[in-house]
Amino acid sequence: MPSLKDIRRRIGSVKSTQKITRAMKMVAAAKLRRAQDTMESFRSYADLTSSILAEVAAAAPADSHPLLKRRETEKALLLVITADRGLCGGFNANLNRAALLQIKEADPKPEISIIGRKAKSFFDRQDVEIQEFYADVYADPSFETAARIAREIAAKYESGEIDKIDIIYNKMISMMSQQPTVHPLLPVALPEKAEADEEEGGDKDDLEPVGFIFEPRQEELLDRLLPMYVEVEVYRAIIESIASEFAARMTAMEAATSNAQDMIDHLTLVYNRARQSAITSELMDIVGGAEALSE
């Protein structure tokens, strides 16, 4: 059995760890509130951007813009978004496993670009070609940073270097649940109505959204809206991932704090039993000595 000194030392160590996990939980909770506010407000903006694009692109043929062109997929790219840091439960591991499964099941096998050091360290050990690693994104997770990444990705698609681009990231379902989600990025999907009408051989003029007059021309609007849509979707994925990371870290640190308390309670019980046993043993030695002297 460990000595009383060893048990006291271990209790002190666990209490120190508990202070750290409690502080990390509080920091994650504070950052989560800000990240949620950013995520929820930007969701509205992103949904509105998609809605406007749908209206403008409803009558556009599939080859009216390079970002709408669909080609036979000979080379694909997967943008993997994880965190830079750990201590957030299975947040990074679940995403990396989902990304690896997506890569193995895809035909052709995609190359990957990476945001987040946890994905970089994971895929460095896998048989996967890493095309680009975007370092220090979380040092400045602004829209400008996301737009720069989106422009680089879109340029590869427009040049024909890549035929299909998807994003995989953790989508925040709730405080307790973050789901790895694959989102098709390029080619930009046309509205279903437009695709259905084109298959039926409908006249392009019949597809114009009722009540809308385009100014400037539809082609000029698409030239602005489609690149902006790609930038918005990349930024949305990044801020969703950030909010999910803080939620996962807060949950993990709460569980760690609770487990530390359980361990402290158990060690305290062990310490009290050992102390009681030591006192009892000393008392028996005293009583035995007294009896020996009385004889």
For 61-88, what is each residue's pLDDT tens digit? 666 778 888 888 899 999 999 999 999 9
Any idea which fold 22-251 has? Pyruvate Kinase; Chain: A, domain 1 (3.40.1380)
Query: Is 214 marked active-site?
Result: no
Question: How confident is the model over 183-194, as a mean pLDDT?
Answer: 71
Given the structure tokens 């929820």, which residue do they identify?
Answer: 40
Q: What b-and-e string marks burial along 177-198, b requiring 16 or more CB atoms within 10 Å of the CB?
A: ebebbeeebbbbebbeebeebb
| Statement: residue 47 has pLDDT above 70 | yes
Residue 165: strand pairing partners: 77, 186
Active-site residue, from 53, 88, 99, 222: 88
Question: Which of 40-44, 53-57, 144-148 shows the lowest per-residue confidence on average (mean pLDDT)?
Answer: 53-57
Give the span between the Cα atoms of 276 and 268, in whole angstroms.
12
Give rounded-to-5 percent helix, strand, coil for the chain.
Answer: 60, 15, 25
Contacts of 287 (CB under 8 A, 6+ apart): none
Give the span between the Cα atoms of 126 and 293, in whole angstroms.
77
pLDDT in the model for residue 285: 72
pLDDT in the model for residue 198: 44
The H or E element that residue 185 is part of is: strand 177-186
pLDDT in the model for residue 59: 64
Residue 118: HSE in the Cβ half-sphere, 13 Å Cα cutoff: 22
| Statement: residue 177 has pLDDT above 70 | yes
Do 128 and 112 contact (CB within 8 A), yes or no? yes
Contacts of 255 (CB under 8 A, 6+ apart): 89
| Statement: residue 274 has pLDDT above 50 | yes
pLDDT in the model for residue 294: 73
pLDDT band at 165 (very low <50, low <70, confident <90, very high): very high
Question: How confident is the model over 140-158, as a mean pLDDT?
Answer: 93
What is this structure's pTM?
0.82
Residue 246: HSE in the Cβ half-sphere, 13 Å Cα cutoff: 19
Domain ranges of the chain: 22-251
Question: How confident is the model over 159-180, as a mean pLDDT?
Answer: 91
Q: Which residue has the higher pLDDT, 51 or 294?
A: 51
| Statement: residue 56 has pLDDT above 80 | no
pLDDT in the model for residue 209: 46
pLDDT in the model for residue 60: 66
72, with CB counted inside 10 A (0-12, 13-18, 19+), is exposed
For 191-246, what is each residue's pLDDT tens digit? 454 344 444 444 444 444 445 666 667 778 788 888 999 999 999 999 999 999 99
